[in-house]
Amino acid sequence: MVSAQGASSELYRNVTDVPGIFLGHVSDYEALTGCTAVLCPEGAVGGVDVRGASPGTRETDLLRPGCRVELVHGVVLAGGSAFGLDAACGAVRYLEERGYGHNTGIARVPIVTAAVIFDLHTGNKDVRPDAKMGYDACLAATAGKHAEGCVGAGTGATVGNLLGPGSATKGGLGSWSLQQGDLIVGAVVVVNALGDVVDPSTGEIIAGLRDPQSGGFMNTKELMSRGEVGRIFPGTNTVLGVVATNAYLTKEQVNRVASLACLGLARTVSPTHTCYDGDAIFALSRGSIQASSDQVGIIAAECVAQAVLRAVQEAWSVGGVPAARDLAIGTPRA
C-alpha cells in the first residue's frame, strides 16, 4: 500500500519531492514502449492544459473548472498511442484494491487521468501499454530518487521527427523540482516532440532533427517556417508532463498553474504545440502551503524546462535512434 509516510524529507530534484506524490515506471526494452504512473492516492486537486492539436487523453474534461469532482488519485503517462490509454485501467484497479477513490456512497471510484505519446514506430507496434503494465507501474511507485531518460513512458520517445524517425534523436523522461521556503514544486515530463530541444541558456539545439547527409542538427523551426513539413502525421509527436505542488490551490488556480507550466515547453522545445503534437500538462495540488497560482506557475514552468533538458540529456541510444550524449556534432542555435 502506498503511504504518504513514505515521503522523504530529502530533496531528490524530482516530482516526488512533493509529499504524497509517488512515481513508478514500467519499461519494455524489446518493444520500446512503457508507462509511468504518478500517484496521489489520498487525492489532489487536479487541472490540465492541453496545448497540442492531436492529443490522446482520458478524463481531462473533469479536471476543468466547473466540473464537480475536484480530487484525482493518479495520472498515467504511456506510450502506445491511443492503445496505451488502457494502462489507466490498471491504475484504477490498483487504487480500488487499496481503498482509494472518490466516495460515491456506493463504491470508491479512483479518478485516474491519462495521456499518451505515439511510439509505435520505434519498436514493436503490436505491443502497447495495457492494464497490466499500468498496474505494475503503480506497484513500482515510490517516493525518492528515480531513473530518468529511456524509462517508463519515455522508453520509446524521440525528438526532431520532422523527417521521420530515421533523422530523429532519442527523447525520454525527465524530472525536476524546486523549493522556495516551504513551497515545493516538481515536474515529470515525457519528451516525444516534433520539434528540437533547445538549451534556453545558450539557444543551442541539444537534441533534435539530424541532417540525413551530415548527421548534424538541423533547425526544425526554420524548416517549418518555410513550409517544409516532411512526411509526418498528426498525433505522432507529443510532450506530456505532470507538475505537482504542496501549495493549497483551488481547481481554478491549479488549472492556471498547468497553463503557466506550459511556458517551460516554449523555452525548451522549438517549435512546440504544433498540430502534429498532442502536448498536455497536468497539475496537482496536494498540501497546505499558502502561495499564489502565479508563484507556483512560474516555478512550475522552470521545473518543466529543466525536466525537458534532463529527459534528453539522460537518454541513451536504443532501437537505432542515437541519443544526444552519443552524438559528437555541432549545436546550431534555434
Angstrom distances, CA of residue 272 to CA of 67, 151, 182, 219, 311: 28, 22, 32, 13, 16
Give the tens place of pLDDT for each residue, 59-116.
Answer: 999 999 999 899 999 999 999 999 999 999 999 999 999 999 999 999 999 999 999 9
Region 12-37: mean pLDDT is 96
pLDDT of residue 228: 74
Q: pLDDT digit string (tens) for 31-48?
A: 999 999 999 999 999 999
pLDDT tens-digit map of 287-301: 999 999 999 999 999
Position 77 scores a pLDDT of: 98
Is the predicted pLDDT of residue 198 greater than 70, yes or no?
yes
Rounded distance, CA 207 to CA 220, Å? 11
Instruction: List the alpha helices (DSSP H) in the chain.
Output: 87-97, 131-139, 220-225, 251-261, 263-268, 293-313
Domain 11-326 has CATH 3.60.70.12: yes
Q: What 8-state DSSP symbol labels residue 277?
A: B
26 in Cβ contact with 62 (< 8 Å): no
CB neighbours of residue 3 within 10 Å: 11
When the pLDDT of each residue in the chain is averaged and rounded to a whole number, the result is 92
Q: Would you place residue 53 in the very low, low, confident or very high pLDDT band (cuts 50, 70, 90)?
A: confident
Average pLDDT over residues 262-291: 95
Distance CA 162, CA 227 (A): 12
Q: How far apart are CA 301 and CA 289, in angstroms?
A: 19
Reported confidence tier of residue 234, pLDDT bands at 50, 70, 90? low
Query: CA 161, CA 209: separation in Å to the nearest integer?
Result: 6
**Coil, strand or helix: which one is 327?**
coil
Banded pLDDT at 6 (limits 50, 70, 90): very low
Nearest to 320 by CA among 166, 185, 196: 166
For 81, what's the count of Cα atoms within 13 Å in the CB-facing half-sphere? 16
Phi, psi dihedrals of residue 253, rounded to the nearest 5°? -70, -40
What is the model's pLDDT at position 230?
61
- DSSP for residue 314: S
Q: What is the pTM of this model?
A: 0.93
Predicted local confidence at residue 4, as pLDDT? 29
How far is the C-alpha of 240 from the C-alpha of 51, rounded, in Å? 10
Residue 232 in this model has a pLDDT that exceeds 80: no
Pairwise CA distance, residues 195 & 159, whole Å: 6
- Cell reading at 96: 480500488
Task: Identify whether the C-beta of residue 302 lies closer than 8 Å to the C-beta of residue 264.
Answer: yes
> According to the model, what pLDDT value does residue 164 have?
82
Domain locations in the chain? 11-326
Judged against a pLDDT cut of 80, whether residue 1 lies above it is answered with no
At which residue does the C-alpha cell 517516493 appear?
143
